[in-house]
Amino acid sequence: MTRIFSLILCVGMLSLGFSATSNAEDVFRLRMFFGLSIPGGGAVSLEEWNLFQQEEIIKTFDGFNVVDSVGYYKGKPERSKIVTVIVKQQDIKKAKELAALYSKKFKQESVMIVKVPVLEWSFIGADWKAQVN
């Protein structure tokens, strides 16, 4: 699973023009927490989530990771999806637009977005020791 996540983020970072020399001050890890409970009853189905992922998330970001989660809101458990992306500063707006779209489509109060600076990253292959001087 870690290899798949690394590959997805690697492809996304490279397609956005990231390199090992990119200015780390402009690079962020965003985690978006999409609740699956619908206020007033019901839930976003797996089919509805997959359609949203296909029609919206994939079109918004070249690479991302999705994790199933159970979060707690106001003392009650709620199934959720956590979507993680690595983006440049100018692409944070895309995440906010995606969150607003999800909130409206599935009658959510909000989607939480956590933004953390990425200070450094590396792509480590099987022969990394041979490459170190």
Beta bridge partners of 84: 31, 65
Q: What percent of the chain is predicted at pLDDT more than 70?
A: 78
Q: How confident is the model at residue 132 (pLDDT cuts 50, 70, 90)?
A: low
pLDDT tens column, 82-130: 999 999 999 999 999 999 999 999 999 999 999 999 998 788 888 877 6
- Specify whether the backbone of 65 is left (phi greater than 0), alpha (psi in -120 to 50) or beta: beta
| Measured distance CA(56)–CA(58) in Å, rounded | 6
pTM of the model: 0.77
Radius of gyration of the chain (CA): 17
Beta bridge partners of 112: 33
What's the order of all strands across the beta sheet hosting 76-88?
A: 65-73, 76-88, 27-35, 112-117
Give me the CATH code for the 2-17+26-118 domain, please. 3.30.70.120
How many Cβ atoms sit within 10 Å of the Cβ of residue 14?
Answer: 13
